[in-house]
Structure 1
């Protein structure tokens, strides 16, 4: 049985060996279930062959034991029988050679070879994907304030979504945190692994020991600043493994550090009872591009639905039908919902239809690439851990449906689409998110959009192409406004003031997707060609496009 478990471990290593960044789009994660199905079928075949081999050997052993027991009752009488003598000789020659050959033969070789072939034709996650999935889960835990034990039980915000995690699952999540130098989550998940290990049957096979957990816990607790607890855990580890070289070295280091701290307190006449002073005052924000702790708190509260506009902000908001001076819209006006007044942010309902959504998703899937951001210094596009999604770009002329959506965008905005970027389709991955950012380029970003020669991004239209079960809101951190995805709706706002300056109030973020899948598409519209559609002025803009 131990050999079987070693093989399963080997298969696990294979699974992690090929592919990259499938965790950044749930559309690609779906393909991993197909991979798993093939592997399960292959493993079933391997086990069946092994069981046939073992059953054959077991039957042979039963026959031999029964015959040997008969012979042992009267050895002289048994061997004096010429038939018995012949059968004994046969068993110890040709029969045992057959048994020996079968014992030596690895009947599962072809199934292991299948794995190598599958790696070339199926989608496999990589070590990066494992780490990315772990980081995403921890991001969700922090953003939505999820209890560690609840997550381990498969519950997200009190709803049971999956089976429970094993101690081995928790241990690996803690290990991935440790690899990322995230000692806070290492402590949380190693403690959970310990608790679950003590609850599980003692004969259950595990990839770690209690000593392994204690080693991770001790060092991570030290890195979190609690040397005394780290020393206690190290001493507990040394009771299990007295000759553990690294633990003995750490023990000496912790003891020395504690002694130094005590000596320092004595010299200062400090009894250690005073804590470091703390402050709840917000950090002053000088640069709107900096994602400081004050904004992070607002961002996470908005994602959880805990921070909302005041009644005074909500009172003037209206829902209405608009034609935007488009003649044919008099027959079927647009459905507009005001989301915010200053700056003016609106939501159009029924802005994209199910048939259009399915076609756009189908066209985008084969082109998906990891979503990028533009380096403000070099202008180069690069991936970033604060934007987890995959995207594809669709040209207007590729299909009449895209052309229809683009024309509808022009009707909704009153702006010229000739200076708009291609339709960007985005699918968010595990815990997919995009931290607070501006859609427009700021003055210091000299090389932004330099290849387009269309000026700055004057406006954004964001189409929601799926409902999201939990999470995934678009939040405006300084406005205390959150737009929750609803399939077929589109959000629209101006990024620039009428004088061409960027409106920093439009800084927004995509909250992590807690459960469900999030599909969106963006239409970014630039300044060039809008001179007569939206004339330059020193006056504030207030939705004069929506009439």
Structure 2
């Protein structure tokens, strides 16, 4: 809640207007009191100017982050999730606060009207974008076991330093997590917001008159989330602190009574842990199952097993393309065989493919198991587009290169999918092939299941963004110009469940990839079916 404690000049002058008496000019002695009137007028203006100076100083302070972000390289801002979050927050909540502090008038040329008109011409983030950005920071925190206190200072997994987070920024992260029902994260972020709030007040960096949040606001979220966790004693203590600050708080008194009754009903049991603190790693260990835990560990570079059979070689193949220019192949896993090919996509090609893809970007989708429809999902955050081979010579050349390297027929393959991952972009563990319970996943194509995946890494990623295979303890780190390749199906057509994989959240940098999915039809003589089937249980698929 933003409080503007302004004594308006108009109000002061209206008060003085009530004291006006006529015929003062008729006697000099009657003019003497006008000096008192004049002094009062000066005091009113001085008060007004002092508050205007404070208001203008606060507007300048809040505008400074906008100016500083504008001076930095755009990609530098976007490559760091903290500064990217602040960019989105700046053009939503922070902009609203700036307009509130500024003088809003009905004149069509005023500041608020000008900015409102800009929304018809320029892109502005929405409240959904703000929530998504906050969720992305929480996802990064959980996956990479980042402590909120470190993130508040701009530290990201040993990388320092982006712009630090203010008390208002931390409060917003806590509020967004509260809205999503994540009370652990609400408590973590609100505690940091409270610490930063005290630091900012101690340093005198922000005038209380213009605070977008108050000490009481933070305590209220902390107390209620603590209650939701079942920690009733702590919830009462926090609410009592809230009442000391705001004795007339509309909810605090009733909440204390409710918490005390719950303790009585539980015969004195608190119902939760009140005196222990945990690191993010300790908390995370109790929150996720084995696959999610393994996936996140592999994203951090932990738990990876390097096979002794792995080897590197030049592949010449049986076609003219590879005879003229053999490719560098690394076998990173045996059974299933997973390969990395190096230097198979060039910078000039990458630039053209990216430019072709950008105008067509749409939110990436997944198959709904129940309906077979394509839907968006929180476990896949990216945008993608599809490029046909005949629309540009570079796309055609890349397709022919894939066919030469893999030896597979591409006439029945899907178009080249180009993907750019967003803030904290990821894709949780999934199969590329359609399982038995998926309703008509590729029926419309008429080309059978996805037999193989060819994945180009179009950019290197500074931190995070790996491709991981939880069942194989395997992590593939993005390397610009390289590509990964594996078969999704056994030779008898059954799905190989060990190829279940994920795209880790992008921590720092930007991630572009391009996928080519080859299908069963057309591969009958290239990769013949085995006569004896692979035994795959329904549970496995």
TM-score, with normalisation over the residues of structure 1? Answer: 0.75
Please give the per-residue CA displacement for 1:212-263, whole angstroms capped at 9, x wherever unaligned: 1110000001111211100110111111112222111110010001111126
Give distance in 1, aligned partners of 2:84 and 2:220. Answer: 37
Residue 264 of structure 1: how far off its partner (Å)? 7.6
Distance change in 2, residues 1:307/1:331 (3 Å): same
Match of 2:458 among 465, 480, 486: 465
Long gaps (5+) in structure 1: 12-25, 51-102, 266-271, 273-279, 284-290, 542-547
Match of 2:303 in 1: 307
Contact 2:310 2:331 in 1 (8 A): yes
Match of 2:6 in 1: none
Match of 2:477 in 1: 484
Q: Give the total of aligned pairs.
A: 444
Match of 1:220 in 2: 225
Contact 2:317 2:323 in 1 (8 A): no
Residue 169 of structure 1: how far off its partner (Å)? 0.7
Match of 1:412 in 2: 405
Q: How do 1:223-262 residues align onto structure 2 when only pairs under 5 Å count?
A: 223-262=228-267
Give distance in 2, aligned partners of 1:104 and 1:343. Answer: 65
Match of 2:502 in 1: 509
Is 1:436 equivalent to 2:429 in the alignment? yes
Match of 1:448 among 437, 441, 455: 441
SS in 1 for 2:266: helix
Residue 491 of structure 1: how far off its partner (Å)? 0.3
Give distance in 2, aligned partners of 1:104 and 1:524. Answer: 55
Give distance in 1, aligned partners of 2:512 and 2:349. Answer: 13
Contact 1:463 1:488 in 2 (8 A): yes
Match of 2:294 among 294, 298, 301: 298
Is 1:395 equivalent to 2:400 in the alignment? no
Contact 1:498 1:539 in 2 (8 A): no
Q: How do 1:246-395 residues align onto structure 2 when only pairs under 5 Å count?
A: 246-262=251-267, 293-310=289-306, 314-395=307-388
Please give the per-residue CA displacement for 1:180-209, whole angstroms capped at 9, x wherever unaligned: 111111101110010001111344342111
SS in 2 for 1:475: strand
Which is worse superposed, 241-250 or 350-359?
A: 241-250
Contact 1:498 1:538 in 2 (8 A): no
SS in 2 for 1:120: coil
Residue 449 of structure 1: how far off its partner (Å)? 1.1
Q: How do 1:118-267 residues align onto structure 2 when only pairs under 5 Å count?
A: 118-200=118-200, 201-202=203-204, 203-204=206-207, 205-262=210-267
Give distance in 2, aligned partners of 1:435 and 1:401. Answer: 31
Please give the per-residue CA displacement for 1:114-133, whole angstroms capped at 9, x wherever unaligned: 21221011111100000000
Please give the per-residue CA displacement for 1:457-504, whole angstroms capped at 9, x wherever unaligned: 000000000000000000001000000000100000000000000000
Distance change in 2, residues 1:379/1:4 (3 Å): farther
Contact 2:452 2:485 in 1 (8 A): yes
Please give the per-residue CA displacement for 1:10-59, whole angstroms capped at 9, x wherever unaligned: 99xxxxxxxxxxxxxx69x99999999999xx99xx9xxx9xxxxxxxxx
Contact 1:388 1:433 in 2 (8 A): yes
Distance change in 2, residues 1:175/1:256 (3 Å): same
Contact 1:460 1:495 in 2 (8 A): yes
Residue 408 of structure 1: how far off its partner (Å)? 0.5
Distance change in 2, residues 1:540/1:144 (3 Å): farther
Distance change in 2, residues 1:264/1:388 (3 Å): closer
Superposition RMSD in Å: 3.4
Distance change in 2, residues 1:192/1:386 (3 Å): same
Residue 328 of structure 1: how far off its partner (Å)? 3.5
Residue 342 of structure 1: how far off its partner (Å)? 1.0
Give distance in 2, aligned partners of 1:251 and 1:38. Answer: 38
Match of 1:533 in 2: 526
Give distance in 1, aligned partners of 2:171 and 2:148. Answer: 13
SS in 2 for 1:298: helix
Please give the per-residue CA displacement for 1:493-538, whole angstroms capped at 9, x wherever unaligned: 0000000000000000000000000000000111111101110015
Give distance in 2, aligned partners of 1:34 and 1:435. Answer: 26
Match of 1:499 in 2: 492
Contact 1:35 1:123 in 2 (8 A): no
Distance change in 2, residues 1:170/1:471 (3 Å): same
Give distance in 2, aligned partners of 1:163 and 1:6. Answer: 19
Match of 1:62 in 2: none
Distance change in 2, residues 1:175/1:226 (3 Å): same
Residue 110 of structure 1: how far off its partner (Å)? 3.9
